[in-house]
């Protein structure tokens, strides 16, 4: 009989003692009690930690040490673009004047900030080939919402009320159909061919007077370029629909191809992917949207405008008055300003030549890694295609022969000090790993990853049980997610 | 190789139907379906008294990796739901055709016209994945 | 090449391994007509020194005026430890915690955050954050429609005393799904939602009532009466709250007979700098029985193969990556790093510290109102109890006054004319614990001058 193992790190509450507190953080007490009517007064103080500052700092520092992160590990998560987050971007965003500026500050105290925002709009327009950019959506999914809402608004403005279907390839990210529903539309799936491109026949069948538009990622979620995109654009436009570009994979083609040139009417960008703002353990992101001429009037507000006053450039917000057909406001203020500043600094550092180097080296690293993994015995899902910035390998052969799944391989990779690639997405490819190295990783890192993957493959053949019970060297072993869902423990309840 | 009892009717969407002596029917999901879903964590059954159309999505079975709609193979009024599934959704995994029944229904029309599959036809559907 | 480590030799070796002679060959599947010639409108790149000098210049242009604006974003002291910890690479550059064994730091932090939010709000479960307070209100309305099975109308009662931007965002995000937002009046003298105006709606099919506490005017609403009235009509109560105020105010879980059903709010006051409007984070909490209707990520505590306690994302079947078209929301990335800032802030401040902050803010705002209403032509807008903001009525249009104050290095508040013209010239002011008595005196003197200047003209 063994004692139950202790948690890696206690809860912050466990450090608490009655009366303890980080009192150098407390404002001085006021002489008079606050004037709150008795019926509205809180009877019991909220149950929050009572800890010293040192205990809080130790606790959260120790928690950080339980994480994998880009700063500590190679993190080849497909479709997430885990590239290095330059610290200069953070330093600039944390300048006290930017940090302390109220969102509703007067124009006089906003010109520096608004100049950066305006220039960011212009840089994003140029690199994507779009005519307008709005910065307020706060994540990719939020940008998707804006995009589909604009498409809907466009058709409505032309009296075309029957158009409520959004076509989505079968391989699409789950946010796409979820977004269609949020916009009051219906998602309609079209098949993807064995070569990874959208099935044009299926597309022709799906198109009609009910088509509002199509949502595409290019390169697609299968890691390959949609070769007949110009044909797809022509078919959709001829049917009266619009094209939406999901920018999750923009890193593959940054500086090499522009969505606007491919015929897309509206795009969203994931600034926390392509433009290297920090992932932060789940955000904050920024999902700026770009539009072609048809959708310019519908952009979400506010957008930064530029005028000339007394011979000098002056920047200001454009709202309902200037954008009367706008789909409206999507954020409490103007979105994730701090994230936008970081993206702006990143783009200024890359500059013109740097943009295309991103696409080139992301693609080089991806194709190199794919080739080496194939040589090591892994099966590519689309071996006849060029990899974009990411590619898929399928572990179905290993599953069938040795009973080892993609999840098992992913968990075992953690023991080798690599964060696993994306698993089980896209859902179209069984037992897949979607691998995206990004351009900021060196050849040595990629080679080390191949060595680890080869070792895992060997283990799959000789000691598959090692994989099935992996990880073994992490702070915790494999966690029981069935129990987590059946016996919900979602908050610490203090002993009364 | 999933279990497909010969005395039940089936729908292509992986539900089964058992005729009860009093003319009502009992409905659940097949062994193939529970296996594909994995360990179930939650079941949302239709409300008692609700009238269902044939093929209507009326329940949800949730595992860690999926939340699937369950479609009523026949139309009719919901008479009862299996309360045991609230505390023990895993009954569907353990005994999908017995203790894992989800709801009972009074069919609005004769079963013969409902387009249900027999066991061997459904077994082929399930095997095809 | 910034951030790209490859040497020429690396590139040659890699191209050889792939079997092509140049990098451009890797793009041969892309039609030539689509290839970019040159990005002319993008300037040359800058090194780190150059770009930081540029940004310093831009920042200096904006300076640091003395701030008296609230209106949903509040200037508080943020303990230095908060940002020191969240800018550690292990938090800053981590991804969403899908691989639980490699993300226990993030996951446990989220669990602690969920615990603290439930404690503050008096509710049973909370999620891992929404984008901001405004979008959290929109998501709460959609959730109310899902959760309120008895109601078919999708009618959401939305008082005018709720933040105008929250109302606008809710309209933009729910309009396409058939929700009907119905404006409700406030009582002119008191600045509180009017129960009299609600009365004619009794007995109708109403899905939800939104109650903001304190409301946009800073006024304290009669939450018990509003909550009970809504429940009597079979409507769900959505509470929109300021987290700092919850140190002093009765939490929504205890409003009326049954408590609020869904609670949301803007988390910015907890450890997030003003930073021009974002990133912030929204929080959401609800009853246990509604947990499957709640959007966003949720972390649960469980055990590993050895029985060791650990944390993992749970109830993911509701989310977009599994449920797709039928998901509770399309939300994927949320505001993780800011939620962490909130968690560490609350961990450091505790209930005692938060109460001191809340009390100090109320005292400073009371002091500000007293000082400004001593000036001729300035009077309080409403007679009700308030938290840390107040509406002041002037006798002249507010915009030119604010412009004069801005030139003197003071952000005097928010002109309410665009949203509440019926009040006449009205200004929303706020003083937090960051404003000293000296700051308040500075403002009063400047406002006095500004008002006198106008009158002299």
Q: List the CATH number of the domain containing A467.
A: 3.90.1150.10
Q: Spell out which residues of chain C touch residue B65, defining contact as CB-CB under 8 Å.
A: 316-317, 322
Let me know if residue A105 belongs to a domain: yes
Share of chain C above pLDDT 90, in %: 91
Q: Is residue A318 part of a domain?
A: yes
Q: What is the pLDDT, as a whole number, of residue C332? A: 67
The per-residue pLDDT for C323 is 63
Tell me: do A102 and A11 sit in the same domain: no
Last residue of a domain, one of A303, A325, A350: A350
| pLDDT tens-digit readout, C239-261 | 999 999 999 999 999 999 999 99
Asked whether residue C41 is domain-assigned, the answer is no
- By the CB < 8 Å criterion, does A77 face chain C? yes
Give the integer Cα–Cα distance in Å for C402 and C414: 8
Quote the CA–CA distance of C309 and A10 in Å, as a whole number.
10
Q: A31 in a domain, yes or no?
A: no
User: Which chains neighbour B (Cβ–Cβ under 8 Å, 3 or more pairs)?
Assistant: A, C
Does the CA dihedral A361-A362-A363-A368 come out positive or negative?
A: positive
Q: Which residues of A touch B39 (CB under 8 A)?
A: 482
Residue C389 belongs to domain spanning: 68-76+351-456
The CATH code of the domain that includes C451 is 3.90.1150.10
CB atoms within 10 A of CB B75: 16
Average pLDDT over residues A412-440: 90
Which phi and psi (to 5°) does residue C354 adopt?
A: -60, -40
Q: Say yes or no to pLDDT of A446 above 80.
A: yes
A442 and A400 co-located in one domain? yes
What is the domain count for chain A? 3
User: Nearest 10 degrees: CA dihedral of C72, C76, C80, C83?
Assistant: 0
Integer Cα distance of B56 and A456 in angstroms: 46
Contacts of B37 in chain C (CB under 8 A): none
Residues of A in contact with B63 (CB under 8 A): 482
Q: Do B51 and B77 meet the contact criterion of CB atoms below 8 Å apart?
A: yes
**For residue C322, which residues of chain B lie inside 8 Å, CB to CB?**
65-67
Closest alpha carbon to A318 in A183, A141, A132, A144: A132
Closest residue by Cα to residue A218 from A235, A198, A240: A198
Count Cβ–Cβ pairs < 8 Å, chain B vs chain C: 19
Interface residue A488 vs chain B (CB under 8 A): no
Contact indicator for A436, A77 with CB cutoff of 8 Å: yes
Helices (H), B11-99: 31-37, 84-87, 91-94
Share of chain C above pLDDT 70, in %: 96
Q: State the average pLDDT over residues A383-394.
A: 93
Looking at the complex, does the CB of residue A486 fall below 8 Å from at least one CB of chain C? no
What CATH number does the domain containing A217 carry? 3.40.640.10
CATH of range B9-109; options 3.40.50.1100, 2.40.50.100, 3.90.1200.10, 3.40.1190.20: 2.40.50.100
Min Cα distance A458 → chain C (Å) is 23
Using the 3D structure, point to which of C294, C324, C345 is the last residue of a domain: C345
How far is C17 from C63, CA to CA, in rounded Å?
A: 54
How high is the mean pLDDT of chain A?
A: 94
For residues C322-337, average pLDDT: 71
Of C22, C17, C15, C79, give the one whose Cα is nearest residue C348: C79
Q: Is the pLDDT of residue B77 over 90?
A: yes
Taking an 8 Å cut-off on Cβ atoms, the answer to whether B69 and C323 are in contact is no
Looking at the fold, whether A166 and A121 belong to one and the same domain comes out as: yes
Tell me the mean pLDDT in the region A77-106. Answer: 96
* Domain termination site, one of C345, C377, C402: C345
Check B64 against C316: CB less than 8 A apart: yes
A332 domain residue, yes or no: yes
| pLDDT score of C457 more than 50 | no
Chain A nearest C-alpha distance from C401 (Å): 12
User: Looking at residue A339, what is its pLDDT?
Assistant: 97
Same-domain check for residues C214 and C255 = yes
Same domain membership, residue C225 and residue C104 = yes
Q: Which has more confidence, A45 or B112?
A: A45
Mean pLDDT (whole number) for C306-335: 77
Q: Is the dihedral of CA C42, C45, C46, C52 positive or negative?
A: positive
Do C318 and C358 belong to one domain?
no
| Residues A291 and A378 grouped into a single domain | no
Same domain, A362 and A336: no
All residues of chain C having their beta carbon less than 8 Å from the beta carbon of residue A178 are 320, 323-325, 327, 329-330
The two most distant CA atoms of chain C are separated, in Å, by 83
A137 and A261 assigned to the same domain: yes
Which residues between 405 and 424 in chain C have a beta carbon less than 8 angstroms from any beta carbon of chain A?
406-407, 411, 414
Residues C214 and C129 reside in one and the same domain:
yes
In a domain, A231, yes or no: yes
Token representation of residue A342 = 């970081």
Q: Inter-chain contact B66–C292, Cβ cutoff 8 Å?
A: no
Asked if the C-beta of C326 comes within 8 angstroms of chain B's C-beta atoms, the answer is yes
C302/B contact by beta carbon, under 8 A: no
Chain C contact present for A163, CB below 8 A? no
Q: Is residue A33 part of a domain?
A: no
Runs of H (alpha helix) within A297-405? 337-375, 396-402
| Chain A contacts in chain C segment 254-313 (CB below 8 A) | 254, 266, 273-281, 288, 291, 297-312
Express each pLDDT in B33-52 by its tens digit.
999 888 999 999 999 999 99
Which among A64, A471, A485 has CB closest to C91?
A64
Question: What is the interface pTM, i.e. ipTM, of the complex?
Answer: 0.96
Which residues in chain A have their CB less than 8 angstroms from residue B89's CB?
486
Which residues face B51 on adjacent strands? Answer: B77
**Same domain? A300 vs A281:** yes
Choose among C228, C262, C251: nearest CA to C141. C262
**Residue C321 contacts B where some CB pair is shorter than 8 Å:** no
Q: Would you say B102 and B17 are in contact if contact means Cβ atoms under 8 Å apart?
A: no
Any domain includes A71: no
E strands along C167-260, which residues?
A: 180-184, 186-187, 192-193, 208-213, 236-241
- Domain-ending residue, one of C345, C372, C391: C345
Query: Which helix (H) or strand (E) is A147 found in, with range?
Result: helix A140-157
Question: Is A247 in a helix, a strand, or coil?
Answer: strand
Q: Are residues A334 and A401 in the same domain?
A: no
For the segment C350-379, the average pLDDT, to the nearest whole number, is 97
Same domain, A334 and A393: no
Is residue A53 domain-shared with residue A99, that is, in the same domain? no
Whether C36 is covered by a domain: the verdict is no
The answer to whether A212 and A163 are in contact (CB under 8 A) is yes
User: Is residue C439 situated within a structural domain?
Assistant: yes
Position A172 scores a pLDDT of: 79
Window 11-50 of A: residues touching C by CB (8 A cutoff) are 11-13, 21-23, 25-30, 32-37, 39-43, 45-50
Residue A18's domain comprises 1-23+49-63
- A67 to C106: CB separation less than 8 angstroms, yes or no: yes
Res. C456 pLDDT band, cuts 50 70 90? very low
pLDDT band at C303 (very low <50, low <70, confident <90, very high): very high
Residue A409, min C-alpha distance to chain B (Å)? 18
C318 interfacial to chain B (CB closer than 8 Å): yes
**A140 plus A13 within the same structural domain:** no
Do A481 and B64 make contact, defined as CB atoms within 8 angstroms?
Answer: yes
Whole-number pLDDT of residue C322: 60
Q: Is A309 on the interface with C (CB under 8 A)?
A: no
Interface test with B, best of A486, A488, A490 (most B CBs within 10 A): A486
Give mean pLDDT, residues C394-420. 97
Give the DSSP letter string of A108-122: GGTHHHHHHHHHHHH
- β partners of residue A109: none
pLDDT tens-digit map of C147-158: 998 999 999 999
Residues C214 and C226 in one domain: yes
**Domain boundaries of chain B, sorted by first residue:** 9-109
B86 CB within 8 Å of a chain C CB: no
Q: Does B62 touch chain C if contact means CB atoms closer than 8 Å?
A: yes
Do C262 and C301 lie in one domain? The reply is yes
Does one domain contain both A109 and A93? Answer: yes
pLDDT in tens, A342-381: 999 999 999 999 999 999 999 999 999 999 999 999 999 9
Section A307-322 average pLDDT: 94
- How many degrees, rounded to 5, is the angle at CA C388 between CA C387 and CA C389? 105
Does the pLDDT of residue C177 top 60, yes or no? yes
Residue A131 lies in a domain: yes
Residue from C278, C326, C336, C343 to probe the interface with A (highest A Cβ count within 10 Å): C278
pLDDT at C171 over 70: yes
Category of A242 on φ-ψ map: left (φ > 0), alpha (ψ -120 to 50) or beta: beta
Q: What rounded mean pLDDT belongs to chain C? A: 95
Asked if C93 lies within 8 A of A69 by C-beta distance, the reply is yes
Number of domains making up chain C: 2
Termini Cα distance of chain C = 60
Cα nearest neighbour of A123 on chain C: C42
What is the nearest CA distance from C322 to chain B, expressed in angstroms? 6
Side-chain half-sphere exposure of A113, counting CA atoms within 13 A: 33
Same domain? C322 vs C390: no
What is the reported pLDDT for C104? 97
């Amino acid at each position: 009989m063994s004692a139950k193992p202790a948690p890696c790190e206690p809860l912050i509450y466990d450090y608490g003692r009655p009366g303890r507190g980080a009192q150098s953080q407390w404002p001085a007490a006021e002489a008079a009690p606050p004037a709150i009517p008795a019926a509205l007064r809180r009877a019991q103080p909220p149950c929050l930690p009572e800890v010293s500052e040192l205990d809080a700092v130790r606790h959260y520092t120790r928690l950080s040490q339980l994480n994998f992160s880009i700063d500590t590990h190679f993190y080849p998560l497909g479709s997430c673009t885990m590239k290095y987050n330059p610290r200069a971007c953070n330093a600039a965003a944390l300048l006290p004047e930017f940090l302390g500026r109220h969102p509703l500050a007067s124009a006089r105290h906003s010109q520096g900030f608004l100049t950066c925002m305006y220039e960011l709009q212009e840089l994003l327009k140029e690199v994507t080939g779009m005519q307008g950019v709005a910065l307020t959506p706060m994540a990719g999914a939020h940008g998707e919402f804006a995009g589909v809402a604009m498409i809907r608004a466009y058709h409505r403005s032309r009296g075309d009320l029957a158009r409520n279907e959004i076509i989505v390839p079968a391989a699409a990210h789950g946010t796409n159909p979820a977004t269609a529903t949020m916009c009051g539309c219906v998602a309609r799936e079209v098949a993807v061919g064995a070569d990874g491109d959208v099935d044009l026949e299926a597309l022709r069948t799906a198109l009609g007077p009910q088509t509002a538009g199509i949502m595409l990622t290019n390169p697609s979620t299968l890691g390959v370029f949609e070769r007949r995109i110009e044909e797809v654009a022509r078919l959709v436009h001829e049917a009266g629909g619009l094209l939406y570009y999901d920018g999750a994979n923009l890193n593959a083609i940054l500086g090499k191809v522009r969505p606007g040139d491919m015929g897309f009417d509206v795009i969203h960008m994931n600034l926390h992917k392509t433009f290297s703002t920090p992932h932060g353990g789940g955000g904050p992101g920024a999902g700026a949207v770009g539009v072609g001429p048809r959708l310019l009037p519908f952009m979400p507000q506010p957008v930064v405008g530029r005028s000339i006053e007394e011979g000098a450039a002056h920047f200001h917000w454009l709202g309902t008055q200037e954008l009367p057909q706008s789909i409206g406001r999507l954020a409490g203020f103007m979105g994730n300003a701090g994230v936008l500043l970081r993206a702006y600094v990143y783009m200024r550092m890359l500059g013109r030549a740097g943009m295309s180097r991103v696409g080139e080296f992301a693609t080089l690293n991806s194709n190199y890694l794919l080739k080496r993994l194939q040589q090591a015995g892994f099966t590519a899902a689309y071996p006849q295609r060029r990899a974009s910035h990411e590619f898929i390998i399928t572990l179905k052969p290993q599953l069938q022969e040795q009973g080892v799944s993609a999840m098992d391989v992913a968990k075992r990779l953690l023991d080798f000090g690599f964060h696993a690639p994306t698993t089980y997405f896209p859902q179209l490819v069984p037992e897949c790993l979607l691998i995206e190295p990004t351009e900021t990783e060196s050849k040595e890192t990629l080679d080390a990853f191949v060595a680890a993957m080869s070792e895992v493959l060997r283990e799959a053949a000789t000691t598959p049980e090692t994989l099935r019970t992996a990880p073994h060297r992490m702070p915790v072993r494999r966690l029981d997610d069935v129990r987590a869902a059946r016996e919900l423990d979602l908050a610490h309840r203090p002993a009364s | 190789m999933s279990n497909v009892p010969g005395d039940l009717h089936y729908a292509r969407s992986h539900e089964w139907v058992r005729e009860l002596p009093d003319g009502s029917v009992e409905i659940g999901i097949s062994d193939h379906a529970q296996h594909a879903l994995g360990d179930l964590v939650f079941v949302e059954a239709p409300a008692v008294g609700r009238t269902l159309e044939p093929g209507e999505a009326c329940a949800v079975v949730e595992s860690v990796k999926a939340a699937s709609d369950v479609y009523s193979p026949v139309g009719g009024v919901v008479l009862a739901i299996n309360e045991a599934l609230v505390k023990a959704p895993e009954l569907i995994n353990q005994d999908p055709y017995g203790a894992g029944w989800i709801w009972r229904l009074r069919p609005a029309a004769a079963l013969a016209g409902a387009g249900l599959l027999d066991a061997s036809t459904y077994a082929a559907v399930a095997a095809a994945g | 090449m910034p951030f790209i480590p490859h040497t020429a030799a690396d590139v040659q070796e890699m191209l050889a391994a792939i079997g092509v002679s140049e990098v451009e060959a890797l793009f041969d599947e892309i039609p030539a007509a689509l290839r970019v010639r040159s990005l002319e409108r993008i300037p040359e790149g800058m090194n780190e020194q150059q770009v930081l000098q540029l940004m310093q210049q831009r920042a200096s242009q904006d300076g640091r005026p003395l701030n008296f604006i609230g209106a949903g974003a509040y200037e508080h002291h943020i303990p230095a430890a908060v940002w020191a910890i969240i800018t550690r690479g292990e938090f800053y550059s981590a991804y969403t915690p899908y691989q639980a064994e490699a993300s226990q730091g993030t996951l446990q932090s989220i669990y602690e955050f969920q615990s603290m939010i439930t404690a503050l709000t008096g509710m049973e479960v909370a999620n891992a954050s929404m984008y901001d307070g405004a979008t959290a209100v929109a998501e709460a309305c959609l959730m109310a429609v899902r959760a309120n099975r008895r109601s078919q109308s999708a009618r959401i009662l939305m008082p005018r005393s709720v933040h105008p931007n929250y109302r606008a965002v809710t309209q933009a995000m729910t309009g396409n799904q058939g929700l009907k937002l119905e404006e409700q009046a406030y009582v002119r003298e008191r600045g509180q939602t009017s129960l009299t105006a609600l009365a004619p709606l009794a007995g109708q099919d109403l899905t939800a009532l939104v109650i903001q506490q304190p409301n946009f005017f800073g006024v304290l609403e009669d939450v018990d009466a509003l909550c009970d009235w809504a429940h009597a009509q079979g409507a769900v109560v959505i509470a929109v709250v300021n987290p700092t105020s919850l140190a002093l105010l009765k939490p929504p879980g205890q409003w009326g007979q049954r408590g609020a059903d869904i609670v949301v709010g803007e988390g910015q006051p907890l450890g997030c700098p003003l930073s021009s409007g974002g990133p912030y984070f929204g929080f959401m909490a609800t009853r246990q029985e509604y947990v499957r209707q709640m959007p966003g990520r949720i972390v649960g505590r469980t055990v590993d193969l050895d029985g060791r306690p650990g944390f993992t994302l749970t109830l993911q079947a509701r989310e977009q990556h599994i449920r797709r078209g039928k998901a509770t929301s399309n939300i994927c990335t949320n505001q993780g790093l800011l939620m962490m800032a909130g968690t560490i802030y609350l961990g450091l401040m505790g209930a005692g510290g938060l109460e001191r902050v809340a009390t100090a803010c109320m005292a400073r705002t009371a002091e500000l109102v007293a000082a400004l209403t001593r000036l001729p032509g300035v009077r309080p807008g409403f007679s009700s109890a308030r938290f840390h903001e107040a509406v002041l009525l002037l006798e002249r249009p507010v915009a030119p006054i604010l412009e004069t104050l801005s030139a003197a290095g003071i952000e005097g508040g928010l002109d309410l004319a665009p949203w509440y013209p019926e009040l006449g010239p009205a200004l929303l002011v706020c003083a937090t614990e960051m404003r000293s008595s000296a700051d308040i005196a500075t403002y009063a003197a400047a406002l006095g001058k500004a008002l006198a200047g106008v009158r002299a003209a």
